[in-house]
Amino acid sequence: MPTGRLQSRLGSGEGAGARESIYESANQKSRKTEVAASTQSTSPLGFNLINRIQMKSFVFDFVVATAGVLMFVQPLPAEELQSEKPKQFIYVLHLVPRLYADASWTDEDKKVLQRHFVRFQEAIKAGKLVLAGRTSESGDKTFGIAIFEAKDEAAARKFMEEDPAVAGGLMTAELHPFTVALEHKNP
């Protein structure tokens, strides 16, 4: 070891303490030089490894922080989103007694009925009306139905009451919550 060689060259005695401090100083410089040399002689691969480890740590911290932020700004749970989905309703239409006979229909009644039909066509195009139709019976046995979607019962009632046939006094209507269980799609 260098210690033995250095001490034998320097000798012992009174000056040994000063020589030891010189040795310690030289030894520290030597260590610093060795560290600097080993750092300089380290291949780029060593630095790349250190940089990759630091980068992975940074990426991990970033992902964890981002996930934490996203947890707070995430959309509402599925149950709450389903409540925003439109609900289905049906209203049943009955002709007013004065219109049981076909001969009783006035030109104005026919115009109101046409507006009723056009409104249903527009509601179909808008995706609001699921289906509408009437029975083929005549007189007091005939009735019609409209199955449609609305955000809530108040909106459903408004849709029903604004039907030109209902508002124009040609038909009465009853509103009911409804769910289509099976549906045949037209090709």
* Per-residue pLDDT tens over the stretch 161-186: 999 999 999 999 999 999 999 988 87
User: pLDDT of 34-81, one tens digit each?
Assistant: 545 555 555 556 666 666 666 667 767 777 776 666 666 655 555 555
- 184 CB contacts (<8 Å, ≥6 apart)? none
Domain ranges, ordered by start, for the chain: 2-73, 81-177
The predicted pLDDT at position 85 comes to: 87
- pLDDT beyond 70 at 8: no
User: pLDDT of 24-46, one tens digit each?
Assistant: 555 555 555 554 555 555 555 66
Residue 6: pLDDT band (50, 70, 90) is: very low
Is the distance from CB of 149 to CB of 130 less than 8 angstroms? yes
CATH T-level assignment (fold) for domain 81-177: Alpha-Beta Plaits (3.30.70)
- pLDDT beyond 70 at 155: yes
- pLDDT beyond 50 at 140: yes
- The least confident of 6-15, 40-49, 123-132 is 6-15
The predicted pLDDT at position 7 comes to: 45
